[in-house]
Amino acid sequence: MNPDNKLPTEQHSNISQEEFLKLVKDLNSTQTFDVTFTNGSTYSFKELTTNQLKQLVKAIVDSPLTQAEFNNTLFQIMKESCLDQNVDFAAYNIVDRLIFCLTTRIHSLSDSFTLTTEKKTYAVKLDEVLNSLHACLQNNTITFQDSTTTKGEITLTYGLPTLKVEEQLNKEIYKNKDINVETAEDLRKILGEAFINEIAKSIKTAKIKDSVIDFNTQNFKVRLNILEQLPALVMQDVITFIEKYKKEIENSLRLDEDTILPIDGSLFSLR
């Protein structure tokens, strides 16, 4: 019995910063979640660290036309957080990154997200959005498959952009580019460049007669140089493919007729 009615003093052990950080690292390795990608593979990932969350939130100031910083940050987190360090995520595609983005947000923060627009406030359940995306992929497999088009002697293969080619685009084209829209001419120029970049990201190979060039072995500037010399006619099927898959993804992220869930740094703000 304690005559002074005092609570017993809790005993603590003091350890060094290095020892404590090792405990944190060990803890992070046990707090994981699984992600299933478009090719059917499933991998385990560590939950976001506070530093990774900071990097994602910093990307809120990213250009809405390119989302280069946000996309690069997500790609780096994919590589850092996967428990299997032998996975080549560069070969995965931009829909895989979207799946990773939503799953990470759900498991590292919560599945609830509040979006406020000028007209309405939405209480979003992100697990429902993720389920909608997976259903979209299952119900529209042809829309997301690699395809081939031939016009005359030119044959192109095309498909969803890989994370490797998007990283090339962001590093080679957007990294040091000032995306500043002050006039209508600025907007036209940026939209025109974005249009060409989307096509360049999607093309896998180009063949003329018996000669083939693999775009995956080229840097992005070479991709653009080749693309801009090709006839516009051969691009029509590629453009249609891009429009179709983007529309399907937008529909899976749609909250109502006027609003689509934003996939940017704001998704990771704590609200």
pLDDT in tens, 160-178: 999 999 999 988 888 766 6
How many CA atoms does the CB half-sphere of 268 hold within 13 Å? 29
Quick one: how far is CA 111 from the chain centroid? 18
- Identify the CA nearest to 148 among candidates 140, 139, 157: 157
Structure tokens at 228: 């801009």
DSSP string over 126-179: HHHHHHHHHHHHHHTHHHHS-EEEEETTEEEEE-SPBHHHHHHHIIIIITT---
* CA distances (Å), origin 107, targets 37, 147, 189: 16, 34, 40
pLDDT at site 1: 47
**pLDDT < 50 positions in the chain:** 1
The total number of residues shown for the chain amounts to: 271
Whether the Cβ atoms of residue 147 and residue 158 lie closer than 8 Å to each other: yes
Alpha-carbon gap, residue 230 to 226, rounded angstroms? 7
pLDDT digits (tens, 9 = 90+) for 121-162: 999 999 999 999 999 999 999 999 999 999 999 999 999 999
